[in-house]
Amino acid sequence: MLPIAVLISGSGSNLQSIIDRIEQNVLHAEIKVVISNKAEAYGLTRAKKHNLPTEVIEHQNFSSREEFDQAMVEVIKAAGAEAVILAGFMRILTPVFIQAFPNKILNIHPAILPSFPGVHGQAQAADYGVRFSGCTVHFVDEKMDHGPIIIQAVVPAYTNDDGQSLGQRILKWEHRIYPQAIEWLAQGRLKIVGRKVEVENSPAVFVQVDENEPALVNPGLERGF
Ligand code: GAR
């Protein structure tokens, strides 16, 4: 079991997908703590429903980003977590945090990186008029939405989409690829080679050709995800 900390700022639907896969025994991780920088985040309610330890660490109570990050590092280490899962956590992390968990921090972003980094990736893509968008799980490095890419899922974008409608289509796939990426990390199957990530015994591309929900996922999803 990989001991993980999950960091959230909002609804926590990605947190829920991780909890569900753990409870189904498909994802071999244990959530040691859920941390939110916002007291009102609904994800905290989700965590409590599953009897998971939670902590609220509000960034505005700290005089610098580094002090806020150091407080989170201490809570995560005290909880015994070895990897950190950013699940809709909307704060930029400093080297203080990133160097505390080298190559053990994952993030999910609602766009096909390197396109549309930053906030509102779904709306940026919809407004730009792209024909495809999707989501990306990557290792976190010191630049925002930048580290080596583990897995991406691609979905179509339509001319009548806005950030909301495209975001809903993307979110369904976030809930599938994020637990899969964490499982690969837990299994020790991810190797970072420069900017690239090798997935040991990388599964073939997963293709869904349902006319309502077409999607491409690379590397492919394994059983249960
Ligand atoms: C997700 O769409 C996630 O990809 C995005 O925030 C949402 C959180 O939803 N993250 C970012 O935009 C990070 N740059 P959730 O709280 O329901 O998981």
Q: Would you give per-residue pLDDT tens digits along the chain (225 residues)?
A: 999 999 999 999 999 999 999 999 999 999 999 999 999 999 999 999 999 999 999 999 999 999 999 999 999 999 999 999 999 999 999 999 999 999 999 999 999 999 999 999 999 999 999 999 999 999 999 999 999 999 999 999 999 999 999 999 999 999 999 999 999 999 999 999 999 999 999 999 999 998 888 999 999 999 999
Mutation choice for ligand 1 from 108, 168, 182, CB with most ligand atoms inside 8 A: 108
Distance (Å, whole) CA 58 – CA 104 = 23
Domains of the chain in sequence order: 1-102 (3.40.50.170), 108-225 (3.40.50.170)
Rg (CA), the chain: 17
Q: Cα(134) to centroid of ligand 1, in Å?
A: 12
- Mapped onto helix, strand or coil, the DSSP state of residue 85 is strand
Cβ–ligand 1 distance for 17 under 6 Å, the answer no
Strand stretches in the chain, DSSP E: 2-8, 29-36, 54-56, 83-86, 105-109, 132-139, 149-156, 190-193, 196-199, 206-208, 215-218
Residue 101, φ and ψ in degrees, nearest 5:
-135, 65
Q: Cα(187) to centroid of ligand 1, in Å?
A: 25
Residue type, 139: F
Output the residue whose Cα is nearest ligand 1's atom 17. Answer: 13
pLDDT reported for residue 131: 98
pLDDT reported for residue 123: 98
Q: Give the atom of ligand 1 at the shortest distance from the alpha carbon of 109.
A: 4
Q: Cα(61) to centroid of ligand 1, in Å?
A: 23
